Structure 1
């Protein structure tokens, strides 16, 4: 039987895939475990998906790891997530190096604990010369924060006369977003069967293809990524144009 990997057109692989990794808590509850166990098993999914994305030539993979709203979760769960993040970065750095993966992070990083940032920066510096997949972790991130932060930076440049109102367009504003160094995602995947964007990359996904799967994140593997890519490649992306315009 032909696998989803075999069905992928290597010439039509999206350059940027973004994933809302949802369902860790429900996975733990279904298995009679505390919520943090679901997050621990979710690390295995990250490893598999990063490997799969690198195999097929995805250039950027952005994972929604911790939202600004997640700070409102029980303190014990937030602390456990921070420690898990540090442990995961430590445990996975060698593997990321072997797979030629670069690491970056977007979000309101000033609110992250200092020991998490130290570990993140140490890993990022070690991997900075790699030339393969760019793995982007969205930490303390929300789309509304990103847009508001961009607006503040643009307003400051206007006040400092570094730019002017007449110069403001979509491209200029995009340069103030935390994702200015990468293309907008062509494909957004959400696991767990929920049909929400959850305040993720709101500006950037204006024309992204959306893919929802009922699988909880700890059960998601690279074969599921390949299935999503095949689904994406079977869609017609028109960007507001008619089918006739695309075929001319």
Structure 2
């Protein structure tokens, strides 16, 4: 193991960690020595499957059912995490939802739920641990945005707005964290083969794949290493950045 990419002994929380990109990040972090907790929302079967997979490989994973948009639920889950791990060194805000609709068909409840899960959830979970990171003078916050925060997309006005908000939040908070060695960064993946992508319409996915210079969707294993970079000492000079493994969909 290359020690510069080690997160050995670090306590890491991954929201939305029971499947998709979050699960891939958990597995990679575990192989590099992290102590892991996961928040998922009503996804007990996948959480149990991941726990078993990790256990067989010799790793321990603590999972908690938590709607990250619910302040009370986050407070309860955070207390449970603290009782087991004592605090947190790395927070990966990966919880998210999808669904494409023409703007005229997006209801207020659709809009609110999208922003609440992505943006409010990122705020609530980060807020719960940020002061601890500042006090211990070490921390990593990694927010999962999207290349669509920059590019936009038809049928996803609410999703793109939420992800753009995460990019802005990341930049602003990095100014407050960096003087205390708390580095706040984001990842803006391109379209990746996950349940969220498969939940979009066939027409939307065909349109998106045709736009990609690489000619295919990404795999979760191609996104997780970026999170490891930002969580480890190899990423110590990244501050307020949004890295975008996206198959060329956006070239910044």
The TM tier, using the shorter chain, reads: 0.3 to 0.5
Length-normalised TM-score, structure 2: 0.35
Q: Which has the higher contact order (CA 8 A, sep 6+)?
A: 1
Larger Cα-atom Rg: 1
Length-normalised TM-score, structure 1: 0.36
